[in-house]
Chains A and B, each alone.
Chain A
Amino acid sequence: MAEAAQDHPDGLLVEALRLLADVQLEMEKERLRRMSIEGLFEEVLGAMSDCLILVEPRGRVWRVNRAAADLLRRTTEEMVGKSLRDVLGPGVPASTWELFQRDRRGRLEAWETVVLRADGEEVPISLSCAVITDPDGKVVGGVYAARDLSQAHRLLHELEEAESRWRLLAEVGDLLGGELDPRDALPAVCERLSQATGCHAAMILVREGRFIEDVVLGPDLGVPVSEPVAHPLPAGTVLARVIRGARVVYAPVLQPDFPLGIPGWPARSAALVPLMARSTSLGALLLFSEEPGAVGDSALSVMELVAARVSLALANARLRESLVELEAAREAAQSRQDVISGLSHDMKTPLGVISGLIEGLKEDGSPEERDRMYAAMRRQVQRLGSLIHQFLDYSRLEGGHRPVVQLQPTDLAELIDRAVATWGRNHPIDVDLEAGLPLACADSERLEQVLANLLSNAVKFSPPSSPIAITARRARKAIEISVTDWGKGIAPGDLANLFEKFHRGTGARGTEGAGLGLYISKALMEAQGGDISVTSRVGSGSTFTVTVPCAPRGGPAAGE
């Protein structure tokens, strides 16, 4: 350096400045050397944002920084000289000394605990501790560092709450979606909500916004004292206000005998949330408890979410129902259209025959020919009449009315003869009536209508000139009339709904008829206190049996 100074004219100045800087550095070092160890400590401690508490080997608090004083809401003076447990509360080890003894290597111990603040509040903290030793290994003290965990705990709690809500909602969604009708899942939803909140959960469902349709309870509630179903909502109650006004009512603390709306459930804390489909009230979700204050804010927000989910499911179910109703109405209208069109087609043949015969009667003909034509006309007029009857019966049944019958003692032999003469042409008909058959209690016109239907079916579904048998026999207090054919028979799949409206068997293609005959026959037999049934085998034929009650003995006999 001296060489450099001699080489350059400015070298001396530079050297002088360096010397000055060195002197300043030495002076600063000296100043720091002169500062007390304690002063240095205070400065470092005060600058730390973590709470620091220094303890003496005996476990008494020696120094405390500002952050610690802030956390514990105590002054430094209040803490210095106290035992650590007095300062931090029962959450720290009783003897810090023990801790020091356990670990002399100065390693950090850390744990979470709760400290009691001067204002009585408990604060969760993380606490770490290091032992301070001198170069000889002698323990000279310890340092505790604490960090306030309340913010982190709050976040964690919120996270857990959000997660459990999400899980609850997912479960409620599964429950509602798991049933064909979401209403079947509501008791389970109440149970789940009750488990999640520790309160009783119930739902009231209403029709037309005011009539109680259903009361759904969790298993903890059992049956309400009075059965309110189908009653109007109790006026002047909170329940009525919630459902009609579509308002949430939240009353964490209730007076005893508060008019909640459902008798038999004592509630000292309650929340009621409406169930809505668009602007229509579907009912309300109730959460309540016998304990005042039990229904808390978080329970309210959970139930609002559940109510929204339940409302959605109920609204969807209603929509599905109305679509099904609409479809059924459309089908019924189509069916009626089909019946009218079918009957009007069926009327064409007799009309054509009658017109043809009228033309035929204009020509000359033998008396025998004219007799045959008149007989054919009578049959076709009867056939038209029967079609019109069918249509009237059908309209009456569609309107929800039973056919009107006039029951009288009726001679079945006569009635069967008439039916055979009109409907059983072309086929050999074997009539076998049990001897001494009693009079039946029947409407002779209606019973003949049924037999005519069975006979014309037998003719329609069996090959030309294949035989048909009619038998009548007594069976206890009734008479059974059977019509048997040896035609193609009825497929097993068609048997079950043979007597239903518009049923046309798979074998009925290529034949006329609107599919009303057996449907009307069944209604006619039931109106007469009788019945109709069938047995059949494909390929071997069918037997239809009608049952009519016997006329009471001693009553006026028919024809007298």
Chain B
Amino acid sequence: MTVTILVVDDEEDVRLALRMMLRRPGWAIAEAASGEEALDLCRRVGVDVLILDHKMPGLAGIDVARILRGEGFHRPIILYSAYLTPEIEATAEELGVWAVAKEDVEELMDTLQDVTENGQRKKTAE
């Protein structure tokens, strides 16, 4: 069964790096360049895992997560940002969102591995 991972980042190079890095059998990568675009895709297409940048022009990553959770989107969300603060991490925790620092590629891969193999055992929105 294919897992669809949506990568949301305003920077093309970040999306490219993630796309190249996440080439695995069973993973399909979709891309969005803004929070708004991500919301649209999540609502229309089945997205299994979301990798969300935080600082973007327009909607910030954490706001996208909040909206999606409000709409009953219970799939794993990973906030992948260079600008994590204790406040943002606390909000992420409340929303059942993983927060991963942007330079930490290994942590991102481990988290992804975890959520795709073990589903939402570690963190759930409910």
Contacts and interface: CB of A to CB of B under 8 A. Distances in A.
Interface of A: 345-349, 351-357, 359-361, 363, 365, 369, 372-373, 376, 379-380, 425-426, 460-461, 463-464, 510-512
B103 A348 contact: yes
A541 to B, nearest CB: 14
Interface stretch (B18-26, B38-46, B66-74, B116-124): B18-26
Contacts of B33: 464
A373 to B, nearest CB: 6
Interface string B23-40: 100000000011000000
B82 A355 contact: no
A359 B60 contact: no
Given A425-B12, A510-B56, A359 B105 contact: yes
A320 B75 CA distance: 59
B16 A349 contact: no
B14 to A, nearest CB: 5
A365 B20 contact: yes
B57 to A, nearest CB: 7
Closest 3 pairs (CB-CB, A-B): A360-B20, A356-B17, A348-B82
B14 A349 contact: yes
Given A464-B34, A512-B83, A357 B20 contact: yes
B29 to A, nearest CB: 11
A464 B57 contact: yes
Nearest to B105: A355
| Interface majority SS (helix, strand, loop, mixed), chain A | helix
A345 B84 CA distance: 9
Contacts of B10: 464
Interface size class of B (residues with CB under 8 A): 20 to 34
Nearest to A351: B103
A355 to B, nearest CB: 4
Contacts of B80: 352
Contacts of A512: 55, 82-83
Contacts of A373: 16-17, 20
A351 B18 CA distance: 13
Interface in B42-59: 55-58
A510 B13 contact: no
Contacts of B60: 510
Contacts of B104: 352
Contacts of A464: 10, 33-34, 57
B21 A359 contact: yes
Contacts of A359: 20-21, 105, 109
24 contacts: A347-B82, A347-B103, A348-B101, A349-B14, A352-B82, A352-B102, A353-B11, A353-B13, A357-B17, A357-B20, A359-B20, A359-B21, A359-B109, A363-B20, A369-B20, A376-B12, A376-B13, A376-B16, A376-B17, A510-B56, A510-B57, A510-B60, A512-B82, A512-B83
Given A352-B103, A360-B23, A511-B55, A346 B17 contact: no
A110 to B, nearest CB: 90
A222 B104 CA distance: 73
A443 to B, nearest CB: 28
A361 B16 CA distance: 12
Contact of A345 (B11, B17, B56, B82): B82
B53 to A, nearest CB: 9
A376 B14 CA distance: 9
A460 to B, nearest CB: 7
Contacts of B11: 349, 353
Could you say which of A353, A361, A463 has the most chain B C-beta atoms within 10 Å of its C-beta? A353
A354 B21 CA distance: 11
Nearest to B16: A376
Contacts of B102: 348-349, 351-352
Given A346-B82, A352-B105, A426 B12 contact: yes
B21 A360 contact: yes
Interface string B93-118: 00000000111110001000000000
A46 to B, nearest CB: 102
Contacts of A425: 12
A510 B56 CA distance: 6
Contacts of B103: 347-349, 351-352, 355
Contacts of A360: 17, 19-21, 23
Contacts of A355: 17, 103, 105
A363 B82 contact: no
Given A346-B82, A373-B20, A464-B33, 16 more contacts: A348-B101, A348-B103, A352-B82, A356-B14, A357-B17, A360-B19, A360-B20, A360-B21, A363-B20, A373-B16, A426-B12, A464-B10, A464-B34, A510-B56, A511-B55, A512-B83
Nearest to B11: A349
B16 A372 contact: yes
A511 B57 contact: yes
A421 to B, nearest CB: 14
Contacts of A460: 57
Could you say which of A460, A464, A512 has the most chain B C-beta atoms within 10 Å of its C-beta? A464
A317 B17 CA distance: 60
A346 to B, nearest CB: 7
Nearest to A511: B55
B57 A463 contact: yes
A463 B35 CA distance: 13
Contacts of A365: 20, 23
A349 B56 CA distance: 13
A352 B14 CA distance: 8
Given A345-B82, A365-B20, A356 B12 contact: no
